[in-house]
Amino acid sequence: MPAPVFRTLEGLAPYEETVTAMAAHAAAIRNGGAGEEVWLLEHHSVLTGGTSADLGDLVDPGDIPVHETGRGGQWTWHGPGQVTGYVLMDLRRGPGVRRFVQALVDSMTDACHACGVPGAVSDHDAMGTYVDGRKVGSVGIRVREGVSMHGVGLNAHPDPAWFARMSACGAPEVAATSIAAEGGNGDRVMVEDALAEALAARLDLAVDATR
């Protein structure tokens, strides 16, 4: 099978259109009509709820669009300053869902280290990357008929005020942080490149970058 293609989307990607395109591509992978891909991008501000999301955890959504989505997990924010990685892979050929999720978490941790945050650590059970208990990145995926959708959200340099709009992942006691806030380099291109390299290494892929 050809190596997955890494695509970097410039600007800010609209959430609904991107998720629709992702679902279409995942269906094509299942049917043998498309190859595996990783999309790296930033969204316009949006609050998304996973299959365990509780409306009571939306503290103050204001005028931010709210979408319920089929991925696992609870509420999360996507927007400017957060690098989102959608990982569309055929897990029917391995490595299995559990190892796949662990690799996604570890990829975010590796990217943090590469961007100057050596204190970042993985928490596989919580499906996230943390710095002294503060959450810098999250994993939320959906696997349908063996093909993965959604992926990771890694905070490069977002405005922290966005995270006050909801109880992230149903854990109000866990503060959000970012690579920049922890003293690292939160430049978008650097974070995207570091995350691509980390995903390629952790998932044993070859990076064929399209920027």
Catalytic residues: 169
Distance CA 87, CA 83 (A): 13
Distance CA 64, CA 207 (A): 34
Pairing of strands 46-49, 75-78: antiparallel
Helix (H) or strand (E) holding 141: strand 134-144
Helix (H) or strand (E) holding 99: helix 97-114
Pairing of strands 147-155, 75-78: unpaired
For 1, counting Cβ atoms within 10 Å of its Cβ (0-12 exposed, 13-18 middle, 19+ buried), the class is exposed
